[in-house]
Chains A and B, each alone.
Chain A
Amino acid sequence: MSESKKSPTSGENGEDTGKTQEPGQEKQAKRAKAKINLNRLEMPKQSPEVRRHNFDEVATGYTYEMAMEEARRCIQCKKRNCQAGCPVGIDIPDFIKQLQENDVEGASQVLKRKTSLPGICGRVCPQELQCEKACTLNKKGAPIAIGRLERYIADWERIEGTSSMPEIAPATGKKVAVVGTGPSGLTVAADLAVWGHQVTMFEALHVAGGVLMYGIPEFRLPKEVVQREVAYVKSLGVEIHLDTVIGINYSLDELLNGPYDAVYLATGAGLPMFLGVPGENLNMVYSANELLTRTNLMKGYLHPQYATPIKIGKRVAVIGGGNVAMDSARCSVRLGAREVNVIYRRTRAEMPARLEEVENAEEEGIHFHFLCAPIAFISDGRSNVAAMELIRMQLGEPDASGRRRPVPIPGSEYIMEIDTVAVSLGTSPNPLIASTTPDLETSRRGTVVVDELGKTSKARVWAGGDIVSGGATVISAMGEGRLAAVAMHRYLTE
């Protein structure tokens, strides 16, 4: 479908992109006023054979030439559908315009108007469902690679060692506590700090970043990128208290009765769910959270330089079909597993994981088993998992999620030998704050109930991210943070 024969890596021709169209296309292009280039540039990636053995980032990012070439494909249409498709409303056409003028720093300034976490968003947002889906060029199947450009700008800043700073409003004298330093909390903290409020963040773990640090692996989101963006939020005047558990060290009421005028709760959904089948607590049956926390947060893949070990056997089964399952499977490969199997009870079409991550996993040699589910884990006689019993499924009527419900096929049980399991069925909110705050309304699932602007049932308390949704994406957590920040700012300046 590409009109141009130009190699995606011929970056040195980048500036002439618009002029290298095939002659046959010219008439049509003239009619459209601008020559539309449908050659969406791929990002260079480590080859599967190589990346199976390291935790370095899989996609290595655009070069300057590539970024300029991709940016020039943008026709600067007046519709700005891309911006409408972005949960935090980044001025996408404007930052691309800056890139078209070779002004990366200017592009960064535009980005920072709406996001403090461009290096993170550029990597882990599902752009294919948001800005890029809305892009006018997507009608031709070649949307501008907005995420890759965003990432390029953030990486450029990181490598240049510069950081464009937004203008910070005069101090309002108001104090805000943000509980949890994941993507939602960081967004609220940054917004409120820029608007002149004094923000203090509380983090239960020993490092800020939440799921960006403990969950998403290094090869998808380098921790250096996360820490740089955390440092940027701190540079806006935000204070971060690590090793501090709200609900233990301070109750929510203690924060509200103390110095804080308002509180934003963004403690995520950390509690792992299990299948509830026999043998699930056998040795070497991990929750995906444990596997990922040991590997990413504690840097188990660098053991013994880092003290936390992570043990992976030869034949791994990952139960589940979401992004966390893909991350667990791909970590297992890199930790030396000989064979990694993803077990999912529906079909490929229903998998919640991003297509890009499924493709990456397949390239890395991960096997997918659809329409089956474990019904028991079997011990080796010494309480280590040695096998699992599976049952085949077929798809029945749609369930509440709109996806067809998997139904077990009687008599279809079979055994698969495995020595390591990662259970990746999703998570639910940690009940710590809710259980110590009686007047905070929660749902049956344990999520905090909020209105459309993130306001909870409790005065002066807002919430967002996975503690509200029960488990969604980084960018939706940021989007909810943005809405709540606006509402909190309005409350604080009333």
Chain B
Amino acid sequence: MFSIVEHETLAPQVHRMSVKAPIIAQKCKPGQFVILIVDERGERVPFTVSGWDPEAGTVDFVYVEVGDTTRQLGAMEVGDSLAHFVGPLGLPAQIDHYGHVLTVVSGYGVSAIVPILKALKERDNRITTILQAPDPQTAFGREPLAAVSDRLILAAGTQGENAATSATLPIRELLAEHPRKSIDRVVLMCSICLMRVVSEMTRPYDIKTMVHLTPLMVDGTGMCGACRLTVSGANRFACVHGPEFDGHKVQGWDVLMARRCTYADDSLLQQGFQCRGCSQW
């Protein structure tokens, strides 16, 4: 059993949970994920780690209440225990000195990107972060992001094409200034539609654009193939070859998005997930 040592609400239906898991805390790297099971009848659900403390032996993640399991998590209190907690899974995010890194985040990515940005910062990268949120009131996690970013842009509200992609406006402005004010790398940890759109925006500029994919997973160790996708013509599993991939090499976005929704009617609140313009709706 893995006990919950902290549990705070960051925004309506968005929470941060800190779990006692000393062995995992020893090995975590930015961009990796854990899989948890709430109780013995629970499902295996992956969450990208948003922080860890090897000394205290704790691992943190941020989640949005969207389905049965996340609602169950939302109702748990400090002192309660998770039946299972395994990780860190997946490959760590690529970290190097690139120069100017543009990052776009939304949802859980607002917090889960922080360890990656921290590591990029340590490699002397200049970081511009765009935080996409439905409205300024629900835009959580600004302070930790600001602490690891040289510039933080809030893209909130319904300006732009639609609410789900309002971050495209500031991105367009930044790209217009490239390469005079060059962008050397883009890291995306936001909704799949936005990652797809931004990958297409940066493609003509040939700016390396990394996406953090979150397809459905069952075991999370390479066994079931539920999280497979096509990358440069090859079959890849997000759980063992990812979850970070080169967005310009990802093929079949429609299929990738459809696969995410296989079980949507069973475990997701559809209303919250209907993004206009998505081919799936």
Contacts and interface: CB of A to CB of B under 8 A. Distances in A.
B228 A281 contact: yes
Interface stretch (B35-43, B110-118, B195-203): B35-43
Contact of A270 (B83, B87, B221, B263): B221
A249 B44 CA distance: 18
Interface stretch (B142-150, B174-182, B253-261): B253-261
Interface in A202-247: 204-206, 214, 242-245
A271 B223 contact: yes
B219 interface: yes
A245 B24 CA distance: 10
Contact of A274 (B219, B225, B256): B225
A281 B230 CA distance: 8
Contacts of A447: none
B254 A271 contact: no
A306 B68 CA distance: 11
Interface in B195-224: 218-219, 221-224
B25 to A, nearest CB: 11
A472 to B, nearest CB: 17
B252 A293 contact: no
A432 B221 contact: yes
B221 A289 contact: no
Given A206-B44, A281-B252, A298-B43, A311 B225 contact: no
B41 A249 contact: no
B89 A248 contact: yes
A384 B280 CA distance: 11
9 contacts: A206-B44, A244-B86, A280-B235, A283-B262, A290-B218, A298-B43, A307-B38, A311-B262, A430-B222
A205 B84 CA distance: 9
Contacts of A284: 262
Given A272-B225, A281-B229, A303-B266, 5 more contacts: A276-B235, A284-B262, A289-B225, A293-B223, A307-B42
Nearest to A243: B86
B68 A287 contact: no
B11 interface: no
A384 B262 CA distance: 9
A287 B225 contact: yes
Interface string A245-274: 100110000000000000000000011101
Given A283-B262, A298-B44, A311-B263, A270 B23 contact: no
Given A249-B23, A283-B258, A382-B280, A290 B225 contact: yes
A204 B86 contact: yes
Contacts of B23: 244, 249
A369 interface: no
A383 interface: yes
A432 B86 contact: no
Most buried by B among A283, A307, A384: A307
B31 interface: no
Contacts of A401: none
B200 to A, nearest CB: 18
B88 interface: yes
A309 interface: yes
A303 B240 CA distance: 27
Nearest to A272: B225
A7 interface: no
A493 interface: no
Given A245-B89, A290-B225, A432 B240 contact: yes
Interface of B: 23-24, 27, 37-38, 41-44, 68-69, 83-89, 218-219, 221-226, 228-230, 235, 240, 252, 254-259, 261-263, 266-267, 279-280
Contacts of B38: 307
A308 B43 contact: yes
A206 B252 contact: no
A468 to B, nearest CB: 18
A309 B43 CA distance: 9
Task: List 9 tightest A-B contacts by C-beta distance, closest first.
Answer: A383-B258, A287-B225, A290-B224, A307-B43, A270-B223, A243-B86, A308-B43, A206-B84, A309-B266
A206 B24 CA distance: 15
Nearest to B267: A309
Contacts, number: 120
Nearest to A284: B262
Contact of B27 (A205, A248, A272): A248
A243 B218 contact: no
Contacts of B228: 274, 281
A205 B255 contact: no
Contacts of A281: 228-230, 235, 252, 255-256, 259
A158 interface: no
Interface in A282-301: 282-284, 286-287, 289-290, 293-294, 297-299
Contacts of B225: 272, 274, 286-287, 289-290
Contacts of B261: 283
Nearest to B24: A249
A214 B223 CA distance: 10
A297 to B, nearest CB: 8
Contacts of A206: 37, 44, 83-84, 86
A305 interface: yes
B277 to A, nearest CB: 15
A243 B85 contact: yes
A271 B252 contact: no
Contacts of A249: 23-24, 27
Contacts of A242: 84
Contacts of B41: 299, 305-307
Nearest to B266: A309
Most buried by B among A243, A276, A294: A243
Nearest to B235: A274
B223 A289 contact: yes
Contacts of B24: 249
A384 to B, nearest CB: 7
